């Protein structure tokens, strides 16, 4: 089910499960997905809200209550119907934007489309579906350091091709270049 999800998005769901278990819930609710997003995708919230911690008092803002004893984190908690719909919406948003993977930003869009406590909390912070879509449309800029690293790796690759570096001694260089060319 999660093949199209990026590693960051999978971690969001992992943290959502953790949050649900800490609140004694038997299902992962959209509010738990939102807490997972806040925990894993801080840069996303910096981009859309200009703050890394949009919910400093999450219990009150998201109306969270301890409903039972904490559940062991080894227990596999299912997604509630609302959370499943939010994930379906996230997949639709990814396709709509022409992205190959489902990223945390798409999960945020899915939560904005799913009516409920998480959506209301995001809207109170000033987030709207069109505004977040617009932010996610533009791909993030690669830092200059990353571009410089790529050119260094390409130069090292040329040295490998010319026989000046031994691939068996420099496996990371060859691997990095292969993964760069695959993209």
What domain range includes position 158? 144-182
Phi, psi torsion values for 143, nearest 5 degrees: -65, 155
The percent helix, strand, coil of the chain (3-state, each to 5) is 60, 0, 35
pLDDT digits (tens, 9 = 90+) for 79-99: 999 999 999 999 999 999 999
> In the chain, how many domains are there?
2
Does 131 map to a domain? yes
- pLDDT score, position 63: 84
CATH number for the domain harbouring residue 93: 1.10.1780.10
Tell me, yes or no, whether 99 and 149 share the same domain: no
Is 70 exceeded by the pLDDT of residue 69? Answer: yes
- Looking at residue 166, its pLDDT comes to 53
Same domain as 115, residue 38: yes
pLDDT score of 62: 84
My answer on whether 118 and 151 are in the same domain is: no
Name the residue with higher pLDDT: 155 or 6: 6
34 pLDDT band, cuts 50/70/90, is very high
When pLDDT is cut at 50, 70 and 90, the band that residue 173 belongs to is very low
161 and 126 inside one domain: no
Confirm whether 126 is domain-assigned. Answer: yes
Looking at the domain assignment, is residue 111 inside a domain?
Answer: yes
- Averaged pLDDT score across all residues of the chain: 82
Whole-number Cα distances in Å, 14 to 2, 165, 183: 12, 41, 27
The yes-or-no verdict on residue 10 having pLDDT over 80 is: yes
pLDDT 10s digits, 149-165: 666 666 666 655 666 55
Say whether pLDDT at 176 is over 80: no
Lowest average pLDDT, out of 61-70, 135-144, 165-174, goes to 165-174
> For 94-134, how does the pLDDT look when each residue is reduced to its tens digit (9 = 90+)?
999 999 999 999 999 999 999 999 999 999 999 999 999 99
Q: Residue 85 domain-assigned?
A: yes
What angle (nearest 5°) sits at the alpha carbon of residue 110, between those of residues 53 and 50? Answer: 25
Q: Is the pLDDT of residue 46 over 60?
A: yes
Verify that 15 and 89 share a domain, yes or no.
yes
**Whole-structure pTM value:** 0.72
32, 40 contact by CB (below 8 A): no
- Is 2 a domain residue? no
How many angstroms separate the CA atoms of 134 and 130, rounded? Answer: 6
20 in any annotated domain: yes
Task: Examine the domain organization and report whether 170 and 111 are in the same domain.
Answer: no
Both 87 and 158 in one domain: the answer is no
Higher pLDDT, 37 or 59: 37
């Amino acid at each position: 089910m999660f093949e199209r999800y990026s590693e960051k998005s999978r971690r969001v769901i992992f943290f959502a499960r953790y949050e649900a278990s800490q609140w004694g819930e038997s299902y992962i609710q959209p509010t738990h997905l939102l807490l997972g997003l806040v925990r894993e995708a801080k840069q996303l919230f910096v981009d859309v809200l200009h703050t890394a911690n949009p919910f400093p008092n999450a219990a009150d803002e998201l109306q969270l209550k301890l409903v039972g004893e904490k559940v062991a984190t080894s227990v596999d908690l299912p997604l509630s119907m609302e959370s499943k719909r939010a994930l379906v919406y996230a997949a639709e948003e990814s396709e709509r934007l022409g992205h190959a993977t489902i990223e945390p930003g798409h999960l945020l869009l899915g939560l904005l489309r799913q009516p409920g406590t998480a959506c209301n909390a995001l809207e109170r912070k000033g987030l709207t579906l069109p505004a977040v879509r617009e932010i996610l449309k533009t791909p993030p800029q690669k830092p200059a350091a990353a571009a410089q690293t790529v050119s260094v790796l390409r130069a090292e690759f040329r040295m490998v091709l010319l026989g000046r570096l031994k691939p068996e001694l420099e496996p990371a260089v060859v691997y990095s270049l292969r993964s760069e060319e695959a993209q």
